[in-house]
Amino acid sequence: MTPTKGYAAQAATEPLAPFSFERRDLRPNDVQIEILYCGVCHSDLHTARNEWHGTTYPCVPGHEIVGRVTNVGEQVNKFKKGDLVGVGCLVDSCQKCDNCKQGLEQYCEEMPTQTYNSPDRIDQSVTKGGYSNNIIVSENFVLSVSDKLPLEGVAPLLCAGITTYSPMRHWKVGPGHKVAVLGLGGLGHMAVKLAVSFGAEVTMLSTSPSKEADAKRLGAHKFALTKDPEQLKGLANYFDFIIDTVSAEHNYNMYLNLLNTDGVMICVGAPPTPAQVPAFNLIFQRRSIAGSLIGGLPETQEMLDYCAEHGITSDVEVIAMKDINTAYERMLKGDVRYRFVIDMATL
Ligand code: NAP
Ligand code: ZN
Ligand code: ZN
């Protein structure tokens, strides 16, 4: 066992606080990673505060992990000590269902094992995530990270990056498409960068007037303030795709009306409250509303390689581990530019 330092929530209403625990002994296919940086995803907050229900405490969040291999099990052949690696939202899956065989482990028919708050498939212990100084993960769920890009900017690619990359690849977003990104936070800013790099015309839809200049700097061609009905009027029936990254309750119908014929609203944001959508808003213009969950392992590696080749990283604000609770409060106010990343050396 490896004594491990981390930060955990002990209850939904408790702030995160220092927490010591042990990582398992290495299994033959395991890789042990010293965590250098871990991004802060809004899903961490939803889970720490039990907003989706089903959180097991103590809960150690964190699934945007970048680090260096410190040890490998006897059967590991993909990685060696010293390699730069990443771990995203998944650490295991059944590996035999149709989805797993196609590299769609996120849709494993037996439920994938998530990096935190999931029962381990072998010993049933609850997985603990990247707000910690090391992690042990089967080599099949470890990704190679290039040394070409700043590591703190790479960490958020492991969730925010792949969650926006995967649906845009699935729906073949590219030149000629008009794409709206709803919500300029961690996922939203990666969606803007990636959609622009795929050649689409990108419009930022935001509740924050102060983010207009940043949206343009990130590459967005247009900006509309969603609180101003006049600004949305001119965009009725305009978009081929809306990538909805909003983390809180919002009016889906207001945005569905911005989709052109056959347009798709792709929901990646996961507010705890259900959406209310009248069928009429879909029937007219043959619109669809769809969802997408992170991405599988092969596609996550493809995304990391794509970002390394195109120089794409996340815009980050590096924080000390002790400042995580302040970071959560700022995230709730939409005050993130555009991802908090914990420097694990501060733990
Ligand atoms: P984030 O950094 O907090 O960004 C969310 C953004 O949504 C905010 O910055 C804000 O942008 C906008 N927003 C917040 N409240 C709003 C409201 N009431 N109405 C309209 N807009 C609002 O969060 P994130 O880390 O990007 O995560 C976003 C959501 O995606 C979370 O629910 C998270 O759990 C989910 N998620 C899903 C997946 C998946 O696989 N599908 C993966 C990761 C995360 P503006 O200031 O621009 O309005
Ligand atoms: Zn996430
Ligand atoms: Zn499976």
Cβ neighbour number for residue 347 with a 10 Å cutoff = 17
Is 300 a domain residue? no
59 CA to centre of ligand 2 in angstroms: 15
Structural domain containing residue 166: 161-291
Rounded Cα distance between 72 and 205, Å, is: 45
Within 8 A by CB and 6+ apart from 18, the residues are 5, 6, 7
Q: Given this model, what pLDDT does residue 119 score?
A: 98
- Does one domain contain both 144 and 269? no
**Whether 301 contacts 143, CB under 8 Å:** yes
Can you name the residues that pair with 68 across neighbouring β-strands? 34, 84
Q: Given this model, what pLDDT does residue 273 score?
A: 93
CA 137 to chain centre: 18
Average model confidence (pLDDT) across the chain: 97
Rounded Cα distance between 223 and 265, Å, is: 18
Please, what is the Cα angle at 345 between 22 and 324, to 5 degrees? 80
Q: Given this model, what pLDDT does residue 195 score?
A: 99
Number of domains in the chain: 2
Is 303 a domain residue? no
Q: Given this model, what pLDDT does residue 301 score?
A: 98
At position 296, the amino acid (one-letter code) is G
- Does one domain contain both 120 and 204? no
Please, what is the Cα angle at 33 between 27 and 37, to 5 degrees? 150
* pLDDT classification of 315: cutoffs 50, 70, 90: very high
Using DSSP's 3-state secondary structure scheme, residue 73 falls into coil
Q: Given this model, what pLDDT does residue 308 score?
A: 98
Tokens of 68: 């260096």
- Does one domain contain both 143 and 172? no
Rounded Cα distance between 222 and 180, Å, is: 9
Is 261 a domain residue? yes
Which DSSP state fits 323? Answer: G
For the chain, where are the alpha helices, taking DSSP H only? 42-48, 98-101, 151-154, 160-170, 186-197, 212-218, 229-233, 252-256, 280-283, 297-310, 324-332
- Does one domain contain both 15 and 36? yes
Residues 131-170 have pLDDT tens digits of 999 999 999 999 999 999 999 999 999 999 999 999 999 9
Domain CATH for 66? 3.90.180.10
Asked whether 195 lines ligand 1 (CB < 6 A), one says: no
Q: Given this model, what pLDDT does residue 244 score?
A: 98
Average pLDDT over residues 295-305: 98
Percent of the chain's residues with pLDDT above 70: 100
Is 73 a domain residue? yes
Asked whether 245 lines ligand 1 (CB < 6 A), one says: yes
* pLDDT classification of 102: cutoffs 50, 70, 90: very high
- Does one domain contain both 91 and 102? yes
- Does one domain contain both 206 and 114? no
- Does one domain contain both 70 and 137? yes
Is 51 a domain residue? yes
- Does one domain contain both 183 and 287? yes
Measured from the alpha carbon of residue 333, the closest ligand is: 1
- Does one domain contain both 144 and 10? yes
Cβ neighbour number for residue 310 with a 10 Å cutoff = 11
Residue 63's alpha-carbon distances to 66, 113, 239, 309, 313, in angstroms, are 9, 12, 32, 23, 16
- Does one domain contain both 17 and 146? yes
Asked whether 294 lines ligand 1 (CB < 6 A), one says: yes
Rounded Cα distance between 241 and 260, Å, is: 9
Three-state SS string over 255-267 comes to HHCCEEEEEEEEE
Is 232 a domain residue? yes
Rounded Cα distance between 55 and 289, Å, is: 28
Is 144 a domain residue? yes
Backbone angles phi, psi at 138, to 5 degrees: -55, 140
Rounded Cα distance between 317 and 337, Å, is: 7
At position 236, the amino acid (one-letter code) is A
Ligand 1 atom closest to residue 294's alpha carbon, by position in its atom list = 40
- Does one domain contain both 148 and 207? no
Asked whether 267 lines ligand 1 (CB < 6 A), one says: no
Residues 52-93 have pLDDT tens digits of 999 999 999 999 999 999 999 999 999 999 999 999 999 999
Please, what is the Cα angle at 294 between 347 and 136, to 5 degrees? 40
Is 334 a domain residue? yes
- Does one domain contain both 123 and 165? no
Domain CATH for 278? 3.40.50.720
107 CA to centre of ligand 1 in angstroms: 22
